[in-house]
Structure 1
C-alpha cells in the first residue's frame, strides 16, 4: 500500500512532463511558422515547363525568379567526372544519346539537353556559384561529403542530402550541418528505446551536427509528431511534393507545421 502513493506521484510527474513538453513544442512550432518557407529550386528548377534538366538555364531562370537555394543531382561520368544529372537513362532521353551509359565527360559536354540547354560539370557549377555569392547548393544522389567539400568553392554555402550513418557523421564534421534523408535516418538507430521514444534519434541529430532533414509529406501521426520534435530542436525540415504548382502550394499549406523549406520545380513569383 505504501507503494501506491509513490506510483501515483510518479505517474503524475510523467504526465506533467509530457504535457509541458508538448506545450513547448507547439509554442516553438508556432514561432518557427512565422518565418517564410525556404524555396528550393528542385534540380535547378523548371525551365520552359521542363523539369529535371539540372541545366545552366534552369539555374539562371530560378535565380531571376528569386530562388537562392538550389538542389542539383550529382552523378559520375564513365571517366570519373562529377556532373549535374538526375538519372543517366533520363539524360539519354533528353539528349538522344545512343552510346553506353554513363558517357565520358567529353560526350556529356558536347550534347545539349532537350536540344537547347547547357549541361553542367562540376567546374561549371563552381563558376555559377562564384558568380552568385548569395546562392546555396544542395546536392542529391551523391553520398560522399569528403569529395564534395574538397571540390565545391564554399562549404559554408553547401548542404548535402546524405543516406548513411557514416556519411552523416562525416558531413557533420566537414561542414556546418549534415542533411539527413529521413527514410535513411529512420533506419540508423534500431535500439528498442529509439523505436519507442524517438529521443535517442533526436539526440543523434544534435550530437552529430545534423541540422537538416529531407522528407516527403508525413502520412502518420507518428511521423508528424517526430517532425515537430525535430523542428523544435532547431533542425530544419525540407519537404518535397509531387504534382502541379497549385497542388504543391496546397500541400505546403497543409503541412506547414512540419516543414521549414520546400522543393519547387516552378519557382513561386
Structure 2
C-alpha cells in the first residue's frame, strides 16, 4: 500500500507539472499570436501612411506643376503687354518711363544659412511672379499716359467743328460767287444752308461762346471759339439761346434759323475761321 500511495502522489505531481507546462505553453502561444497580430496591424498602418504620404506628395507635385505652368503663362502675357505698351509709347513718340526690366531670376530662400527651404521650382515660380509684377507696373504707366492722350484726343475731336449745324440745302458755297444783290462777283466767306424758319441751329463742336448779339450784316450772330485759333460763326439767326462766356458742347442748340441782317430769305450763314481767316467749312464737316 505505501508503494501505491507513493505512485499516486508521483502521478498527481506529474499531472500538475504537465498542466502547468500546458498552461504556460498556451499563454506563450497566445502572447506570440497577439504580438504577431499587433505587428501586422502596425505594418498595415505604416503601409497605409506610406500610401497616403505618396498620394499627398503626388498632389503637391501636381499643384506645384500647375502653379509653375500658370506663372509661365502669366510671364508670357505680361511680356506681350509690355511689348505692346512700349510700341504704343513709341507710336505716340513718348520716352520710356523706367529702365527696361531684366529677365526673371530665381532666388533661393532659406530659414538658416546654408539650409534650403524652398525648391528650385517654387523659387523660379516666385521669381517669375515678381518679374510679372514689375512688367505690369511698367505697362500700367504706359497705359496711363496713353489713356490721358486718348482723353485729350477725344476732347480735341469733340472741339473740332465737324457737325452740320443744321440740315438743309446748301444754296451758296464757299468762295467766289455772284452777289445776290447785283454787285458783281464777291468772296463768300462761308456757306448758306437753306432751312425752315425757326429750325434749331447746333454748335459744330464744343467750345466757348465769344460773341452773341447783333451785327449789321450777319444779323443775330453767335461766334464760338473752339481753341487753337479756330472759330465758327452762325449768322442771320431769328433767336439766340446762348450768352457770351458760356461753354457749349458739340450739338448744343445755339439759336434758330432766321433772316436777320442782310439776308434774302430764311437760311443759316455758317462760317469757319482759322487765325481769323475764313476757310472752307467743308474741310471740317463730317456728320
**For this structure pair, what is the TM-score category when the shorter chain's length is used for normalisation?**
under 0.3
Scaled by the length of structure 2, what TM-score is found? 0.19
**Larger strand share, 1 or 2:** 2
